[in-house]
Each structure stands twice: as C-alpha cells, then as structure tokens.
Amino acid sequence: MFSSGYGTSTSFGLWGSVSQPAIATSTSALYEVRSGFLYFPFVTTPVLTASLVGTSTAVVTWTPAQAYLGWSVGSYTHGIGTNSSGPYSYTPVGTDLVATSTGLTLGTTYYFVTVVNDAFGNAIGTSSPASLAIPGSPPEPGDDDDGGTSGTVQTATSGTLSIGGFAHPDGTVFVLRDGVRVGEIPVANNGTFLITLSDIPFGSYNMTLYGVDNEGVKSGVLSFPVVFYTRRLLVSLQGIFLPPTISFEKTDDTSTVRVVGSTLPNSVVVVTITRGGAGAETRTATASNTGFYEFFFSKEFLTQVQTTLRSLAAVGDMRSPFGVALKFVDEYGPRVLRGDFNNNGRVNLTDFSILAYWHDRENVPARFDLNSDGEITLADFSILTFFWTG
C-alpha cells in the first residue's frame, strides 16, 4: 500500500519485480535487468484556511495541489463535519480553490477538509483538517438601567472577496479597489495565485488586477465590478488569467531584436504584430516550465513601418486577454512614422493641426493623404492617431 506522503525508516525490505509499475505501456522481444528503486505517483495536499463571514457563514480557501509521476489534479471535493476524525459531508467543487458553507449552527466548531481527485475523479490525497469555531448566539434584547428594552442583534456589514487564477511564476499579483491598492500576493512557481480580502464594507466597487513578473515587468490590467450586500457576503472569482508580460531585450546581434515575457508555464503564447495600416499577423511559441517565452525579429522588419506587438497565452480552453501594446523604438536611427509631417520623430498635436488644415480642401499633397483616397477624412485622422507618440 502507499500513501500521498513520503516515508522514512531505519530499515527497509527489498522485494523484486519483473517490471516496475508503469506510467505507460510498451512491448519488447528483449529486455534487460536494471536495478534501482520503484517509483510511485505522488501528490502534495492542499493547505486550508477557514474564515468566518457574518455570524454563520464559513469561507474555506486552499492552496493548489501538485501531482507527479503519472497523476494529475483534475478536481477537488470539499468536506465539512463537526469532528476532526469525521464523518464529513462532501461536495464537489470542480477546480475552484474556495468553498462556502452557510447556515452553520451557532456555538459549534466545524472541521473542513479538501480531497484531491485525479483526472478520472479518483481521490488521490486529502488535506489535514482546518477548524473554525462559530460563536454562540448573538445578544438577546434585555432591560437597561431605566427599565426599558435595549440590545441589538449584530448583522454583517462587510463581505469577503476571493480571487484565484494564473499569472507569472514567482511574480506578484496586485489588487486595487476603486484605484487604491488593497492587497498583493506572490505567485507560486507553477503560475497560480489565490488571494482573499476580508472586511470589505457593503457597497459597489471597481476591482482591478495586474501582475508584475520576476523581472519587474508589469502586465496588462483586468477590471471588473463587484457588489457586496446582506445576501451576497462572499464573492468568489476563480480562473482569472492575467495577460503575459512583454518587453524588448537587446541582443549581441544589433540587427536582431528579442521579445521576451512571462506567463503560465507550458502555455501557448500568441504574439500579434500590427505594422502600419496592414492587417495583423501572428506568431506562436510555447512558454517554458518556468513561464518564460521569447521571439526574435529583425530590426529591419520592426523599423520599416510603425510596429506594435501584443501577446496572449492559452492552455486548453483557457485563454488570457491580450496584454499591453508594445511599440518598437529604434535606438540606432530614425523610424518611419506615418503622420510625422514636420519630421521631428514624433506624431503629436502639431501633426494633428497640420492634417486638420487640409481637411475638406482640394489638391491635397500626397504626403498628407494617409490612406491615398484623394481627400482628408476621418480615415486619415484614424491612421494618424494609430501612430500617435505624444
């Protein structure tokens, strides 16, 4: 028999096997004996944190499990009971890293466990229990010193927000509420994160998330509204996929530009390249098991016309949004900017004013007619703003 943990012993027994338990199968007409130790699948079990929301609601979060040597984590099952040794009542929660239990009995201590299931739904590991004591009955109305009735029943005035998902390994995820930073959490080396924010006053908020990778490069931001009220004490947002980071790096070859970034390990990274007014083209690469990805471009390709790069990452059915738009600036010479009418290397309000002068005029010089249709219209202003540098 085996367990989901490691074992130690001052002595051991040796037994033989024609072949070790295999992850895959094979056929052979010949074989040879190789000595060594048998290996077994292994899974790390989640670490649970239980929190009280209001007077009778428990929010339980846990760290992601990691499986090796043939096992994979497919889902979780949440268990609740009133005794650490069981029995527990179990509820499947899919791939969520949070579970909520409502209507708990006041004055009772509850215990929670999380079961890790493989891709076929078989239990392959169980966490240690986490406990949470539900306070006793709230104060009852009573007589005050004047003989009157006093006392109030306490009700919840705040909620809890749980956010989990995928970002840049060994980086940091930051959370803002209405533009003010309210939390941050390190990202695990497998690219997952989970943050829980408690005591958020009832109300409506705009929450913003962004990440910073281990090189200090900031990702794009995600924003979403959140509302807390008496019947919505917990908001759980899981499966958030932050965009990859993206930046330029110099290479020893001055004719080549390197584009690098960080995202969820082993994901497919898609970079879109927009050049001038032409349609976008794409290139793909696979991020390493540390989340690193890279692309190489010739400097001539990037400087012929204004070039903008954006990236996203995808794993299976999950896909991140596009990240920040990265515009290439050639440090070794001028670049071609459509709309730079005064040739100062920038497209700004001066160039806008020049273009506005020719609006609705006849015999427009070709250099101002950006879409070459013989007149200055909104389309020309749209092209100019695309190359805008300020």
Residue 11 has pLDDT above 90, yes or no: no
Cβ atoms of 278 and 286 within 8 Å: the answer is no
| Band of pLDDT at residue 144, cut at 50, 70 and 90 | very low
Q: At what angle do helices 349-357 and 378-386 cross, to 10 degrees?
A: 160
Please give the share of the chain, as a percent, with pLDDT higher than 90: 21
Report CA torsion sign: 358, 363, 365, 370: positive
Pair type for strands 234-241 and 158-166: parallel
CA distance 211 to 311: 15
Cβ atoms of 162 and 233 within 8 Å: the answer is no
DSSP secondary structure string for all residues of 126-161: EPPPEEEEPP-PPPPPEE-TTS-EE-------EEEE
**Going edge to edge, which strands form the sheet with 234-241?**
192-201, 158-166, 234-241
Looking at residue 90, its pLDDT comes to: 93
Region 344-360: mean pLDDT is: 81
Looking at residue 151, its pLDDT comes to: 40
Q: Residue 88 corresponds to which tokens in the numbers above?
A: 């527990």
Cβ atoms of 245 and 322 within 8 Å: the answer is no
CA distance 244 to 312: 6
Between 108 and 390, name the one with better pLDDT.
108
Lowest mean pLDDT across 32-41, 108-117, 276-285, 375-384: 32-41
Region 306-321: mean pLDDT is: 86
- Write the pLDDT tens digit of every residue in 237-276: 888 899 999 988 777 777 788 889 999 999 999 998 887 6
Pair type for strands 326-327 and 89-94: unpaired
The one-letter code for the residue type at 39 is Y
Looking at residue 204, its pLDDT comes to: 86
Q: Which of 170, 184, 175 is nearest to 291 (CA)?
A: 170
| Band of pLDDT at residue 37, cut at 50, 70 and 90 | low
Residue 331 has pLDDT above 50, yes or no: no
Looking at residue 78, its pLDDT comes to: 93
Q: What are phi and psi of 112, to 5 degrees?
A: -130, 145
Burial (0-12, 13-18, 19+ Cβ within 10 Å), 317: exposed
| Band of pLDDT at residue 284, cut at 50, 70 and 90 | very high
Residue 177 has pLDDT above 80, yes or no: yes
Q: Residue 321 corresponds to which tokens in the numbers above?
A: 């949004």
Residue 290 has pLDDT above 70, yes or no: yes
Pair type for strands 48-53 and 57-62: antiparallel
Q: What are phi and psi of 57, to 5 degrees?
A: -125, 130
- Write the pLDDT tens digit of every residue in 84-107: 888 999 999 888 777 888 888 888
DSSP 37: -
Q: Is the pTM of this model over 0.85?
A: no
Residue 141 has pLDDT above 50, yes or no: no
Residue 53 has pLDDT above 60, yes or no: yes
Region 309-327: mean pLDDT is: 86
Region 101-123: mean pLDDT is: 89
Lowest mean pLDDT across 49-58, 61-70, 72-81, 334-343: 334-343
Residue 236 has pLDDT above 50, yes or no: yes
Q: Residue 94 corresponds to which tokens in the numbers above?
A: 């899919």
Region 354-359: mean pLDDT is: 85
CA distance 296 to 88: 55
Torsion of CA 218, 219, 225, 226, to 10 degrees: -70
Q: Residue 32 in 3-state DSSP?
A: coil
Cross-strand pairs, 315: 318
DSSP 73: -
Cross-strand pairs, 11: none
Looking at residue 291, its pLDDT comes to: 93
Residue 79 has pLDDT above 90, yes or no: yes
CA distance 346 to 389: 6
Cβ atoms of 96 and 163 within 8 Å: the answer is no
Lowest mean pLDDT across 214-223, 329-338, 370-379: 329-338
Looking at residue 263, its pLDDT comes to: 94
Region 207-227: mean pLDDT is: 88
